[in-house]
Amino acid sequence: MFFIDTHCHLDDTSFGNFASNIYQKARLSGVEVVINPSRNINGFNKIKTLSNSNNGIFYSFGIHPLDISLNFRSDLDFLYKSVTDVIDDKKFIGIGEIGLDFRNIYDNTNIYVQKECFIRQLLIAEEFSLPLIIHSVKSHDIVLSFLRKRHNSGGIIHSFSGSYQQAHSFIDLGFLLGFGGAITYKRNMKVRYNASALPLDSIVLETDSPYMLPSWLNRDKGVLNSPCELISIAFTLAKLRNCSLGEIANITTKNAFNISSKLNYKSY
């Protein structure tokens, strides 16, 4: 079976110098392809190096809504230049992680800055016809309205936490919905319902590692989430949908390949 972890931060400092080893371990268990989006411009070099030294690691560049710096306008200029530098890199697949996160908003300036940053990055994706890896928390309707105004090349709404109806609105715009560790908690009824009821051809798997621990990992014991957990997450999805692990592997992998032709297994 062949699995794709569509969202994983192997460049995160918590993986130390072991990111390549962790990927190779995941690969042996069947998670052959991993997409590593960036959180901010400081990660670009590390992510590119990691990707270039491991066949199955692909990457995207973007500025996460919770990682926007005071110099965000010059960061956006740097992002634009970086995208032009790597546009022909066969491992560079899109713009992300970008989006809106309205979880802990205390002032309108933050909302304004997040929106400006998001729009600028949507324009870069549009200019280069690149797919998007989107982070949307308590902002789905606004994200949808922004996406409707732009010609976009689809992509993934990662760790999808919206309603069943909002899921269909994203699907109608050409997006896939990412599900990961959140589906392993019984209390997450909405997410589990969406994962069980949405069409399987609109779903991709992710670990969001080292974040979003699945229920069987204990944060207190310092255990790290990694792409190695993807198959157990896939097994949870198979149980929720009452289908086989093989079917989950085949269809979610096929869905992920549709994001970018560069991901095609034979190309690397």
- Binding-site residues for a divalent metal cation: 7, 9, 97, 135, 158, 208
CA separation for the pair 43, 5 (Å, rounded): 19
CA distances to 27, 39, 45, 46, 145 from 11, rounded to whole Å, are 17, 10, 10, 6, 31
Q: Which CB, 5 or 97, lies closer to Zn ion?
A: 97
Chain residues 72-101 in contact with Zn ion, contact rule CB under 5 A = 97
E strand spans, the chain: 3-5, 31-37, 57-61, 92-101, 132-137, 155-158, 175-179, 203-205
Shortest Å distance, C-beta 111 to Zn ion = 20
Structure tokens at 148: 């409707």
Residue whose CB is nearest to Zn ion in the complex, by number: 97
CA separation for the pair 23, 20 (Å, rounded): 5
Q: Which CB, 104 or 108, lies closer to Zn ion?
A: 104
Structure tokens at 228: 């190695």
Q: Which CB, 137 or 245, lies closer to Zn ion?
A: 137
Binding mask 95-134 for Zn ion (x = CB under 5 A): --x-------------------------------------
User: What are the φ/ψ torsions at residue 31 (nearest 5 degrees)?
Assistant: -90, 85
Shortest Å distance, C-beta 59 to Zn ion = 12
Q: Which CB, 12 or 245, lies closer to Zn ion?
A: 12
Shortest Å distance, C-beta 217 to Zn ion = 17
Residues that bind Zn ion (CB under 5 A): 97
